[in-house]
Amino acid sequence: MNAVVIATYNEALNAPRLVREVKELFPDAAVVLVDDNSPDGTARLVEEMSLPDVYVICRRNERGYGTAVRDGLLKALEIGAERVATMDCDFSHDPKELASMLGALDTADLAIGSRYVGGVRVINWPMKRLLLSTFANFYVRKILNLAAHDCTSGYRAYRADLLRRMRLPTLQSNGYSFVVEMLWRARMRTKGSRIVEVPIIFVERREGESKMSKSVIVESIWMPWKLRIRGEGGEGRRD
């Protein structure tokens, strides 16, 4: 079984449409939506859709993208998913590309939906944001000696056996540095894991507002150094 994990906060304009589109494209896939008790009723709107194999987790005492995705991944494993994708709720990640993401797991353990492999595939971003994103990837690659072109992409697909080996409950990141920590663990704690990048087109969100904050940015700056200092459990494959 495939599963798609979506973390949300105030995504009432996007979440019902995205969940419906994912289920139309992949009727047999489970959708795990983890919502941080959004004031706009995101979780309630998705629950009221009453679609099969759609699991809504409304967290009332915890908040943050990283821990939300972590909880969604744990739920996906609990319900028996063999392949698990993670994606944003704002349609910057095209649901139609899930097929190639999940299909890449025929020969890989982790597939990254990459905005930068083989060129730049970003639509409707101002130059300042594009430069910030490309610098962030350069920064992460240099500090952690990672090979991926897009280390900060949240559009990913994982084999379940890789996730089980990554000790998800011990993840440290609360914000968007979660995706860097996950990639680092896939490389350093799970020897021989096969990581590929799948070219995607990234489009700026349709509705709602970005969840980026100063605290999230600060965590993203320091987390690569924390991972490097801690070592995270041995040498992984460096291809």
Q: How far is CA 176 from CA 25, 153, 213, 215, in A?
A: 27, 9, 10, 10
Residue at 238 is within a domain: no
pTM: 0.89
**Sequence-distant (≥ 6) Cβ neighbours of residue 48 within 8 angstroms:** none
Residue at 154 is within a domain: yes
Residue at 39 is within a domain: yes
Residue at 38 is within a domain: yes
pLDDT in tens, 90-123: 999 999 999 999 999 999 999 999 999 988 989 8
**Sequence-distant (≥ 6) Cβ neighbours of residue 221 within 8 angstroms:** none
State whether residue 227 is helix, strand or coil: helix
pLDDT in tens, 129-159: 899 899 999 999 999 999 999 999 999 999 9
Task: List the alpha helices (DSSP H) in 85-126.
Answer: 98-103
Q: Please give the structure tokens belonging to residue 37.
A: 């008790």
Task: Identify whether the C-beta of residue 151 lies closer than 8 Å to the C-beta of residue 137.
Answer: yes
Q: The CATH number of the domain where 55 resides is what?
A: 3.90.550.10
Name the residue range of residue 6's domain.
Answer: 2-230
